[in-house]
Amino acid sequence: MCGGEELIRVLPEDDGDRQFCPLAAGLDVLGDMWTVLVVRELLVAPATEDELLAGVPGLDRELLAPRLAALCAHGVVEWDREYRLTPLGRRLQGPLLALARWGRTITQR
């Protein structure tokens, strides 16, 4: 169970076993470290593939390409000579800043 008013789990009758929870839906889009780090870079500024690769150590083209494709398919990122966040993607700034602050407490333990 997700819990919380905005994190309530909703299971429509006509849906097999897929979990309909806003948190799960968000994780379906951003569910791995590389995707989150790509979004982090795009929150700073639009970027080319080469700029994204330079900004995220350890990321390579094989990891980057499917993540960019998925972000574009979900309407989070758009491409026009460089990748940029859509208005939907820009809405990730607050949640990712909160996650970064939380992550800082973990690294300072």
Domains of the chain: 1-30 (no CATH), 33-107 (1.10.10.10)
Q: How many CB atoms lie within 10 A of CB 102?
A: 9
Q: How confident is the model at residue 31 (pLDDT cuts 50, 70, 90)?
A: confident
DSSP 2: -
pLDDT in tens, 71-84: 999 999 999 999 99
Chain-centre distance of CA 27, in angstroms? 7
Question: Quick one: how many helices (H) and strands (E) in the chain?
Answer: 6, 2
Per DSSP, helices labelled H in 1-109 are 22-30, 33-44, 49-55, 61-73, 87-90, 93-107
According to DSSP, the residues that pair with 85 across neighbouring strands are 77
Please compute the mean of the pLDDT values over residues 18-37 and round it to a whole number.
Answer: 88
More confident residue, 20 or 30: 30
- Check if the beta carbon of residue 29 is closer than 8 Å to that of residue 39: no
